[in-house]
């Protein structure tokens, strides 16, 4: 926020005095306090950014909205669907901006993938799979699902423009009981689109990769490769009618399958820092009265998927309907 035009960061609240001391030594012009309620009581503060453990998001967002502050909160919006929904309704009644920090939706590579899908470049989407793996940082307040998966879930909802019908998930706790270090998720979307998410903080390699397989082309987004964040493959399988095929052929006997192996393209991307883009978007929405790309409702949809996945983990991978139907 310090580098966003038109923004003045006036104070930071943190219960840890050592972190406040480090901040004061780095940026002496910013005030500090250990009690966030002091900031909410100040009339000269219009907006707050909340970056705290996930379990505290619901209460802090609620307090900030009740104090009349616009809010940018780190993911996830809350740790339950009901709580997330109440926050959205509160922001609406107060006419305040509520935005969730799903930073990858402000990433130029993810936005280019969205363009490809909207333009029909990839054809019909068959399936998507993502990997978000690392060795550490091991968290104690949340499991790997609630720590890592909000990123991938928010990206999927944005790219596909819809909420999944069902989620099934399996989680495995190796380091501490009941805190899953590794999670495998399968999501089913309308139009027979499927998605798979593999997340882990107990893996030998750092991986942030998403692959989209379409009927015309395929795309790979690799966030850790600055020289090829997106690779577009003109590859696929064509159904070729046989001589005896009827005009509306559908059965296997009516066509042959033929592989197509075309060009591989690495598009040039202008890549501004996503976090800066996100912060600027938050400010613009406040000033211009716009609805954020990652507004509270988007945050609710992400929490719905995470809650369904957690329920599935607790029930040994049983598929769970995202909207409870």
Residue 6 lies in a domain: no
Domain membership flag for residue 165? yes
pLDDT of 261? 77
Classify each residue of 264-287 as buried b or exposed e, where b means 16 or more C-beta atoms within 10 Å of its C-beta: eeeeeeeeeebeebbbbbbbebbe
Asked if residue 300 is part of any domain, the answer here is no
* Contacts of residue 68, Cβ cutoff 8 Å, sequence gap at least 6: 94, 96
CATH classification at residue 25: 3.40.50.720
Is residue 288 domain-shared with residue 314, that is, in the same domain? no
- Which H or E element spans position 261? strand 255-265
Tally of CB atoms within 10 A around 51 = 11
The pLDDT value given to residue 242: 57
Residue 252 has pLDDT above 70, yes or no: no
Q: Are 132 and 151 in contact (CB under 8 A)?
A: yes
In this predicted structure, what is the pLDDT of residue 239?
65
CATH number of the domain residue 265 falls in: 3.30.360.10
Q: Which of 24-38, 151-165, 275-289 has the lowest mean pLDDT?
A: 24-38
Query: Same structural domain for residues 173 and 315?
Result: yes
Domain check: are 19 and 43 in the same one? Answer: yes
Question: Same domain for 241 and 209?
Answer: yes
36 and 132 co-located in one domain: no
- Amino acid 136: pLDDT: 85
207 and 316 assigned to the same domain: yes
DSSP-derived pairing of the beta strands 166-172 and 70-74: unpaired
Q: Is residue 1 a part of any domain in this protein?
A: no
- 271 Cβ neighbours under 8 A, 6+ residues apart: 108, 109, 226, 229
Q: Quick one: 156 and 262 in the same domain?
A: yes
Domain assignment of residue 312, given as a range: 109-272+305-321
For residue 3, being part of any structural domain is answered with no
Q: Are 108 and 275 within 8 A, CB to CB?
A: no
Q: What is the pLDDT of residues 190-236, one digit of tens each?
A: 999 999 999 999 999 999 999 999 999 999 999 999 999 999 999 87
Looking at the structure, tell me whether residues 95 and 113 fall in a common domain: no
- pLDDT tens, residue by residue, 46-56: 999 999 999 99
Residue 245 has pLDDT above 70, yes or no: no
* Domain match, 139 and 266 both: yes
In a domain, 118, yes or no: yes
Distance CA 227, CA 72 (A): 31
Counting the structural domains of the chain, the total is 2
- pTM, full prediction: 0.91
The three-point CA angle 112-275-159 to 5° equals 30
Would you say 314 and 125 are in contact if contact means Cβ atoms under 8 Å apart? Answer: no
- Write out the two tokens for 292: 């954020």
């Amino acid at each position: 926020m310090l580098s966003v035009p038109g923004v003045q960061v006036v104070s930071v609240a943190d219960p840890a005095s050592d972190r406040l001391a480090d901040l004061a030594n780095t940026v002496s012009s910013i005030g500090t306090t250990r009690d966030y309620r002091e900031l909410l009581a100040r009339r000269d503060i219009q907006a707050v950014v909340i970056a705290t453990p996930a379990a505290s998001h619901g209460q802090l967002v609620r307090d900030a909205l009740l104090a009349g502050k616009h809010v940018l909160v780190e993911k996830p919006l809350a740790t339950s669907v009901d709580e997330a929904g109440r926050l959205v309704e509160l922001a609406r009644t107060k006419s305040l901006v509520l935005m969730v920090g799903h930073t990858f939706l402000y990433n130029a590579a993810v936005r280019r993938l969205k363009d490809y899908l909207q333009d029909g470049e990839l054809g019909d989407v068959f399936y998507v799979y993502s990997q978000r793996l690392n060795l550490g940082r091991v968290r104690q307040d949340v499991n790997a699902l609630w720590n890592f998966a909000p990123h991938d879930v928010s990206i999927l909802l944005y790219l596909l423009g819809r909420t999944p019908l069902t989620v099934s998930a399996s989680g495995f706790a190796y380091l501490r009981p009941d805190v899953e270090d590794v999670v495998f998720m399968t999501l089913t979307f309308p139009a027979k689109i499927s998605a798979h998410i593999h997340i882990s903080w107990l893996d030998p390699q750092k991986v942030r990769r998403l692959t989209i397989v379409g009927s015309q082309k395929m795309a790979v987004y690799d966030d850790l490769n600055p020289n090829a964040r997106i690779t577009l493959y003109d590859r696929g399988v064509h159904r070729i009618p046989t001589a005896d095929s009827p005009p509306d052929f559908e059965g296997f006997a009516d066509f042959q399958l033929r592989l197509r192996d075309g060009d591989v393209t690495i598009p040039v991307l202008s890549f501004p820092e996503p976090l800066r883009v996100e912060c600027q978007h938050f400010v613009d929405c406040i000033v211009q009265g716009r609805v954020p790309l990652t507004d509270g409702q988007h945050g609710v949809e992400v929490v719905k998927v995470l809650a369904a996945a957690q329920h599935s983990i607790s029930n040994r991978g049983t598929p769970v309907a995202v909207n409870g139907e």
